[in-house]
Each structure stands twice: as C-alpha cells, then as structure tokens.
C-alpha cells in the first residue's frame, strides 16, 4: 500500500513520544492501586495495598486527601498505557524491519527483463502507471489573445511568471506534471488546476493551485470560492490540494515550494 511505511513511521514516533512522556520503566510513585466504591450515589475512594502474605487491604481515603486518588489513578493508567505502547512498538519494529511500500513492484522489476515479458504482474508498476498517466492527452484552458506569451523550460505556455517559476522547478527537479489539466467538480463544473501530479505516495492525483493576486479583493473572493468547491468534492488542502499564495508585496517563496514538493511529490 502506497504511503503505509510513512504512516507506520509516524505512528512509531507518536508512540515513542508517549513513552518518553510517561517514562520507560514502571516506577510506581505509590504502592497499591485505587478502588472506587459507590455508597448511595456517593463516591468513596480506597487505597488498595498488597500485604506480605498475598492478601490486599483497603484503606479509606478521606475527602480531605484530594491528591492521593488522583496520583493512584494516574499511576495505574500510566502503567497500562506503558504496557500497551511497548507492545505496539514491538509490533511496529517487526513490521518495519522488512516492509517496503514498493515490495510488490520490486518483486516484478527484479526479474530478468526476458522473464518479465512472460509475466503478467498483479498490478502495473509505479513506472508503468506514471508512464500511462503522462501519455494521456487532454485539452487545457485556452489563452486570450491579448495576454503575454510566457513559455516554460518544458516548452509549454503558462499564464504568469510565477507559474513559469513553478513549472520550471518541477521540470528540473524531475517531477512529472500536467498544466491546467481539466477536472470536473460537482456543483461547479470544469476547473483547470494550475498543476496536476500523480502522487508517488498514494497513487492519487494531487492538484496545486497558485493564487497570485490575493491582495485583489475580487480575485481573492474567487480563489476562496474555488478552494471551497474543492473541499465540497472531498479534495482538501494538505491532502490532495496544495496551495501557494502571492501578493504584490509578498512574492512566491521558493523555500515553501520546495518543502511542499518534498512533502507531497517526492
């Protein structure tokens, strides 16, 4: 499954953070546990303490001692949580030891080229899927006659200098893209995202919209409306929608572009 290894690594980091927070060893602050009893809808707390002969004794905790029940309850919870986290970390360690997102593809690509010709793989490899995706023909949005001609390193015409900067960055970084590939959104119609990519992590299409005149109120209103339409179609920023912005005072920040590309496209 594409992206599963990354999710497993994120879960591993999350669990390790928990373990660092509560401590790796079960060092009980207090001996014993908390027992709760209900007496006529009133809560009563008891300190449940083991004795040397294997028996346990309960000592009533008066209402004036508000800290002891909290400490006992938290201590028991931390011990249970610590045990669960250690169990899951060990399971993740075993899975991550030899798991790879592309292991099914690799099983096929490691075969001799002549043997590959005799095999029908269970699914197309990433390279095959990407190749078919790139070959797909489409008709982009038409250009008005009165706007400047701006051409990218790939030889495509784009609508702005910022789009050229983005397109050239993707091209020179080796990130395949489609410029203004049409997408049908419900309750809106056809939209032409500035750039469309095939995610190497999920195998899904990702859309990149660059809104370059956000200090223009009417432009900003339309941009926000378009983003909302993506969201209504289940395409959310941070998942399958990447957004960059620009104003006359604040230009395109390539450091942000590079970080976004590493997060979603590489």
Q: What is the pLDDT of residue 56?
A: 67
The answer to whether 179 and 171 are in contact (CB under 8 A) is no
Separation CA 26–CA 20 (nearest Å):
12
Separation CA 202–CA 121 (nearest Å):
19
DSSP 166-217: HHHHHHHHT---EES--EEETTTEEE--SEEEE-TTTSSEEEEEEE--TTSH
Q: At what angle do helices 161-173 and 254-264 cross, to 10 degrees?
A: 50
Q: 144 phi and psi, to 5 degrees?
A: -70, 155
Separation CA 45–CA 53 (nearest Å):
24
Which residue in 193, 168, 191 sits closest to 261, CA to CA?
168
The answer to whether 122 and 107 are in contact (CB under 8 A) is no
What predicted TM-score, i.e. pTM, was given to this entire model? 0.69
Q: What is the pLDDT of residue 149?
A: 93
Q: Are strands 241-245 and 205-211 parallel, antiparallel or unpaired?
A: parallel
DSSP-derived letter for residue 117 is T
Q: What is the pLDDT of residue 137?
A: 92
The answer to whether 241 and 209 are in contact (CB under 8 A) is yes
Indicate the burial class of 171 (C-beta count within 10 angstroms; 0-12, 13-18, 19 or more). Answer: middle
Q: What is the pLDDT of residue 27?
A: 58
Separation CA 24–CA 17 (nearest Å):
11
Q: What is the pLDDT of residue 26?
A: 64
Per-residue pLDDT of the chain (266 residues; tens, 9 = 90+): 567 888 899 999 999 999 999 887 765 557 889 999 988 889 999 998 877 666 667 889 999 999 999 999 999 999 999 999 999 999 999 999 988 888 888 899 899 999 999 999 888 888 888 999 999 999 999 998 888 999 999 999 999 999 999 999 999 999 999 999 999 988 788 999 999 999 988 889 999 999 988 998 999 999 999 999 999 999 999 999 999 999 988 889 999 999 999 999 98
Per-residue tokens: 199: 């995610």
């Amino acid at each position: 499954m594409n992206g599963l290894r990354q999710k497993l690594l994120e879960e591993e980091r999350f669990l390790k953070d928990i373990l660092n927070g509560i401590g790796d060893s079960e060092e009980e602050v207090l001996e014993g546990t908390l027992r709760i009893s209900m007496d006529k809808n009133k809560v009563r707390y008891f300190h449940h303490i083991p004795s040397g002969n294997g028996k346990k004794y309960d000592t009533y905790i008066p209402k004036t001692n508000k800290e002891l029940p909290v400490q006992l309850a938290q201590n028991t919870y931390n011990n249970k949580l610590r045990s669960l986290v250690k169990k899951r970390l060990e399971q993740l360690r075993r899975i991550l030891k030899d798991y790879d997102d592309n292991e099914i593809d690799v099983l096929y690509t490691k075969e001799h080229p002549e043997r590959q010709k005799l095999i029908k793989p269970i699914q197309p490899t990433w390279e095959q899927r990407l190749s078919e995706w790139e070959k797909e023909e489409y008709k982009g949005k038409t250009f008005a006659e009165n706007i400047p001609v701006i051409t990218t390193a790939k030889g495509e015409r784009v609508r702005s200098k910022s789009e050229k900067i983005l397109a050239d960055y993707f091209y020179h970084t080796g990130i395949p893209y489609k410029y203004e590939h049409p997408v049908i959104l419900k309750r809106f119609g056809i939209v032409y995202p500035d750039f469309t990519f095939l995610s190497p992590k999920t195998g899904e299409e990702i859309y990149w919209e660059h809104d370059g005149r956000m200090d223009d109120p009417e432009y900003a209103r339309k941009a926000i409306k378009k983003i909302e339409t993506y969201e209504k179609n289940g395409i959310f920023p941070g998942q399958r929608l990447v957004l960059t912005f620009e104003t006359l005072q604040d230009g395109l920040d390539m450091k942000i572009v590079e970080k976004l590309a590493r997060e979603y496209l590489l």
